[in-house]
Amino acid sequence: QIIRREDYRAPDWFVPEIALDFDLDPTATRVQATLKVERNGAHDRPLVLNGDALAAESVLVDGVEAQGWTMDGPDLVIPLTGESHTIETVVTIAPERNTQLQGLYASSGMLCTQCEAEGFRRITFFPDRPDVLSKYKVRMTGDKARFPVLLANGDPIAQGDCEGGDAGDGRHWAEWHDPFPKPSYLFALVAGDLVANKGHFTTMSGRKVDLGIWVREADLPKTDHALHALKLSMAWDESVYGREYDLDVFNIVAVDDFNFGAMENKGLNVFNSRYILADPDTATDYDYDAIAAVVAHEYFHNWSGNRVTCRDWFQLSLKEGFTVFRDQSFSGDQGSKAVKRIEDVRGLRASQFPEDSGPLAHPVRPDEYIEISNFYTATIYNKGAEVIRMMSTILGPQKFRAATDLYFDRFDGTAATCEDFVRCMEEAGGVDLTQFRRWYSQAGTPRVSANLTQEGGKARLKLAQSVPPTPGQPVKEPMVLPLKLKLFGGVTGRPMCDEQLVLLKDAAQEIVFENLSETPVLSINRGFSAPVIVETNRTAKDLAFLSAHDDDPFARYEAMQQLMLDTLVAAVTSGKGEHGAVIEAVRNTLTDASLDQAFIAEAVLLPSDSFIGDQMGVVDPDAIFAAREALRGDLGKALNAEWRAAYDGAQANRFEYSPAAKGARRVKTVALGYIAASGAADAAELAFGQFEAADNMTDRQGALTTLVNGNSEKRTEALESFYQRYQSNFLVLDKWFQTQALSSRDDTAQAVEALANHKDFTLANPNRARALIGAFSVNQRAFHDVSGRGYRFVADQLIALDRLNPQTAAKLVPPLGRWKRFDAGRAAKMRAELERIVATPGLSKDMFEQASKSLD
Ligand code: ARG
Ligand code: ZN
């Protein structure tokens, strides 16, 4: 059943207030809900309360048993005559049996909730849509020993022990009120044996906020980083967006079983524990950065998502795109902006570009869906963030801030649309974004060609754009593309003009540069100002030149990547590689003492197998792997002395989490990888030494990865030692599974099949499932093993996972859906597995949508 954006209709009934009373028990939790409902306008439609696997035990209207209520499938339908009523329902649910991890569920002994997008209807009957905003009162009663801590949204109001008699059974209760009207997807409660790392934050207007990061007692020492990140985020949103926190408490709870990263429930964020827990021994620098980014993201949702929410789920990018843009800017401000931008663009190219060019391509504001959970995608989040970034580029910082002020001010306390946001940009920015709106409606990654030609002192830049057809959108209109560009003198390396912002609006446009004193080299899409694919007529020499001279760090990185990519694609097609230009460019960057270490580490990394594949008509995984390994080997050998010097120079003292120390660690592991690629006799020794001596997980995992990709006897020893050391730490054990699933060895497919039968493997925990199945299916060569065993294995796992947890299973379908990009033999095998999935009896609608659309 397809839900369409054009079918949106305002709700028939509002629910200004709701009181919830939970009698908590893992096997049978009783939920009593009291709703104040008000008819919206003149109509005679009944009240429809959504449910999902709920049975009403009692339905009262204004205190008396309701007459004539019915079930319409999962939903409760109550005919009502007056304008406003009080509705009371009772249901009983079993959190312990909830393997979908949506609604109220059990995780490691605690009870917690996840309601976005449509999980609240698994807890109680309610109009479960984001444009119904209510004030919540929540009462929870439960066993005091089992659930000493009872948390919900808003502020704590009262708590106590249950009265004596036979109720003197060790039970207690707590009440929480949230004064801010919110949609049901922001509801949360947590009950468990938890302790908090507590802190305080005083807001700019002087409000004192109590902060708490709630975890199991044993994890308490791993929560300082998250708490610190929270305080930084609160201060950042005040200084950059003028947004202040609005309740007396802000709590975060870490849970082990979680379908995605985290959730912004009002005043009570619930997190996947991997985005909270960190100490040097167990978390990598990447983990530390991700924790800060996700803490910031969820905190920022308090304004971009909670105070202003979405009218319907088609508007999801209104809160997600904007909030990703905000968290990216925050992270950029904590360290190197340039490196953060490089990481974000790498992520966009790895996840969003393939989505945009595949069978599941959809616009930033989709027109239809079967299951909304499938639309929490890189397009909604990351392309959505790029769309906001482009508007901020077009408006400039002052006007952009005025526009966000207007937006928050105008829509505070309401459920808004993407259109509302764009109109604020237009009004405060004094710009016309009519054509720009196509970024919300047209799917597909635009392609830009930029050809620079010179005639004497004059240069002509020919720009052209096109947007490829995507499912349901065969014909596209030109987009507005903000392209930052600049020219550099090909001899002196000096800038020949200031950076210009060109708004490419037509299919083609020409720009003429006059009075040039030397041959110009084009630097374009600087800072990745538009999320597009740019093709230029720049030579290998131009790219090498820019990789050394461009004054925009992103463009410098990009020139190097393009040079590497051109080299690799040529090698894949011709079977032989000319590596000299890349080697010289890498040498140049590696030995440039003026550059930041983290930047160097990014710049000298070769494009991934899959990104190389994305450039080709038909992906040949084995040829790509061979070409990339050959280039890695040559780089390792030719620059042996430089890698050794970089490696030795990056030996840090004691662990420290600072941009400089992170950069040094990154260079160290990248250098180690090249030393190993060179085939040096001492490489395994070196890696094993780093593995054993490491005082932090970044160095240890970096060394492990190098060993796991190789054939030395140290490989088994390191894997075994890692396993023994971290056996009881399930987050680190995920890394053990993941590193093996990402291995570049020939036997990875077999190894992964064996790991699926390891005693520590389980599909019931989403992190563990993703660590093995998710990682394996993005390991291009291993997954696409010509025998098809990788496809069969993944399909088997997904069918099994779907029975437990459809949301997490469906997220893992896209790699199988990329069959069109492969040779006929592989494509047929991939399709056969998708067909097998679609034909599985009892398949969820999540899986059905992903797998059946992938076959089209
Ligand atoms: N709103 C959450 C976040 O981005 C994610 C919720 C994901 N929900 C889903 N059904 N996939 O912060
Ligand atoms: Zn979000």
pLDDT tens for residues 213-253? 999 999 999 999 999 999 999 999 999 999 999 999 999 99
What's the token pair of residue 105? 């569920």
Average of per-residue pLDDT across 463-485: 98
CA-to-CA dists, residue 539 to 544, 562, 586, angstroms: 9, 10, 17
164 has a pLDDT exceeding 80: no
Average of per-residue pLDDT across 429-452: 98
Nearest-angstrom CA–CA distance, 466 and 450: 12
Residue 211: name the closest of 222, 221, 219, 224 by CA: 224
822, 618 in Cβ contact below 8 A?
Answer: yes
CA torsion 699-701-707-708 (nearest 10°) is -170
> Closest ligand 1 atom, CA of 372?
10
**Which residues share a beta bridge with 65?**
60
Alpha-helical runs (H) found in 551-606? 553-574, 580-590, 597-603
C-alpha 2 – ligand 1 centre gap (Å): 21
336, 592 in Cβ contact below 8 A?
Answer: no
CA angle (532 as vertex; 531, 538 as ends), nearest 5: 130
Nearest-angstrom CA–CA distance, 238 and 233: 9
Average of per-residue pLDDT across 447-468: 97
> Closest ligand 1 atom, CA of 294?
12
701, 739 in Cβ contact below 8 A?
Answer: yes
* Amino acid, res. 470: T
CA angle (255 as vertex; 253, 261 as ends), nearest 5: 90
Nearest CA owner, ligand 1 atom 5: 263
What's the token pair of residue 237? 């949103």
Q: What is the DSSP string of 723-743?
A: HHHHTT-HHHHHHHHHHHHT-
Cβ atoms within 10 Å of 206's Cβ, excluding its own: 7
CA angle (761 as vertex; 756, 766 as ends), nearest 5: 105
592 has a pLDDT exceeding 90: yes
Q: pLDDT tens-digit profile of 806-830?
A: 999 999 999 999 999 999 999 999 9
202, 208 in Cβ contact below 8 A?
Answer: yes
Nearest-angstrom CA–CA distance, 681 and 280: 30
Q: pLDDT tens-digit profile of 760-771?
A: 999 999 999 999
With tokens 């395994």, the residue in question is 684
Nearest CA owner, ligand 1 atom 9: 373
Q: At what angle do helices 418-429 and 384-395 cross, to 10 degrees?
A: 10
CA angle (321 as vertex; 410, 319 as ends), nearest 5: 40
The SS3 assignment for 843 reads coil
**Which residues share a beta bridge with 462?**
451, 510
Q: pLDDT tens-digit profile of 310-354?
A: 999 999 999 999 999 999 999 999 999 999 999 999 999 999 999
Q: Which residues of 249-270 are buried (b: 16+ CB within 10 A; e: fewer)?
A: bbbbbbbbbbbbebbbbbbbbb
Ligand 1 pocket, residue 833 CB under 6 Å = no
The SS3 assignment for 78 reads strand
Q: pLDDT tens-digit profile of 8-31?
A: 999 999 999 999 999 999 999 999
Least confident of 60-64, 262-266, 491-495, 564-568: 491-495
Nearest-angstrom CA–CA distance, 422 and 440: 10
What's the token pair of residue 191? 């009950």
144 has a pLDDT exceeding 90: yes
**Which residues share a beta bridge with 460?**
453, 512
203, 210 in Cβ contact below 8 A?
Answer: no
128, 120 in Cβ contact below 8 A?
Answer: yes
Residue 660: name the closest of 584, 607, 601 by CA: 601
The SS3 assignment for 175 reads strand
Nearest-angstrom CA–CA distance, 166 and 174: 19
DSSP class of residue 747? T
pLDDT at 807: 98
The residues, any chain, with a CB within 8 Å of residue 324's CB and separated by 6 or more, are 297, 381, 382, 384, 385
Nearest-ligand number for the alpha carbon of 275 = 1
Band (168; pLDDT cuts 50, 70, 90)? low
Ligand 1 pocket, residue 260 CB under 6 Å = yes
Q: At residue 591, what are phi and psi to the nearest 5 degrees?
A: -105, 10
294 has a pLDDT exceeding 70: yes
Q: Is 298 a catalytic residue?
A: yes
Ligand 1 pocket, residue 624 CB under 6 Å = no
Nearest-angstrom CA–CA distance, 856 and 845: 17
Residue 662: name the closest of 288, 333, 343 by CA: 288
Residue 792: name the closest of 749, 823, 754, 762 by CA: 749
Ligand 1 pocket, residue 373 CB under 6 Å = yes
pLDDT at 577: 83
State the number of CA atoms in the 13 A half-sphere of 758 facing the CB. 19
Band (166; pLDDT cuts 50, 70, 90)? low
State the number of CA atoms in the 13 A half-sphere of 406 facing the CB. 17
With tokens 């075994």, the residue in question is 720
23, 55 in Cβ contact below 8 A?
Answer: no
Q: At what angle do helices 540-549 and 580-590 cross, to 10 degrees?
A: 0
Nearest CA owner, ligand 1 atom 3: 263
The SS3 assignment for 244 reads coil
Residue 484: name the closest of 558, 428, 545 by CA: 558
Is the preceding peptide bond at 117 cis, omega within 30 degrees of 0? yes
* Amino acid, res. 523: S
pLDDT at 654: 86
Q: At residue 115, what are phi and psi to the nearest 5 degrees?
A: -105, -30
Average of per-residue pLDDT across 95-101: 98
Q: What DSSP element (H or E) covers 625?
A: helix 621-638
pLDDT at 726: 98
Neighbour-count burial of 456, counting CB atoms closer than 10 A to its CB (0-12 exposed, 13-18 middle, 19+ buried): exposed
Query: In angstroms, how far is CA 289 from the centroid of its own chain?
Result: 13
Nearest-angstrom CA–CA distance, 474 and 506: 19
Q: Considering the chain, what percentage of its residues have pLDDT values greater than 90?
A: 98
Nearest-angstrom CA–CA distance, 247 and 238: 15
Ligand 1 pocket, residue 415 CB under 6 Å = no
Cα Rg for the chain, rounded, in angstroms?
28
The residues, any chain, with a CB within 8 Å of residue 266's CB and separated by 6 or more, are 153, 154, 178, 180, 182, 186, 188, 247, 302, 306
CA angle (524 as vertex; 519, 528 as ends), nearest 5: 160
Neighbour-count burial of 531, counting CB atoms closer than 10 A to its CB (0-12 exposed, 13-18 middle, 19+ buried): buried
The residues, any chain, with a CB within 8 Å of residue 764's CB and separated by 6 or more, are 99, 257, 804, 805
Average of per-residue pLDDT across 240-267: 98
**Which residues share a beta bridge with 268?**
251
> Closest ligand 1 atom, CA of 118?
10
Q: At residue 386, what are phi and psi to the nearest 5 degrees?
A: -65, -35
DSSP class of residue 410? H
C-alpha 296 – ligand 2 centre gap (Å): 10
Q: What DSSP element (H or E) covers 141?
A: strand 134-143
pLDDT at 387: 99
167 has a pLDDT exceeding 80: no
Average of per-residue pLDDT across 273-284: 98
DSSP class of residue 261? S
Nearest-angstrom CA–CA distance, 472 and 146: 52
Nearest-angstrom CA–CA distance, 172 and 169: 9
Nearest-ligand number for the alpha carbon of 805 = 1
Band (165; pLDDT cuts 50, 70, 90)? low
Ligand 1 pocket, residue 263 CB under 6 Å = yes
Residue 272: name the closest of 249, 252, 289 by CA: 252
C-alpha 216 – ligand 1 centre gap (Å): 24
Mean residue pLDDT of the chain comes to 97
pLDDT at 183: 99
C-alpha 704 – ligand 1 centre gap (Å): 32
Q: What DSSP element (H or E) covers 487?
A: strand 481-489
DSSP class of residue 96? G
What's the token pair of residue 500? 């210009």
What's the token pair of residue 142? 């439960």
173, 162 in Cβ contact below 8 A?
Answer: yes
> Closest ligand 1 atom, CA of 301?
12
C-alpha 841 – ligand 1 centre gap (Å): 28
DSSP class of residue 304? B
What's the token pair of residue 167? 């109720």
Nearest CA owner, ligand 1 atom 2: 263
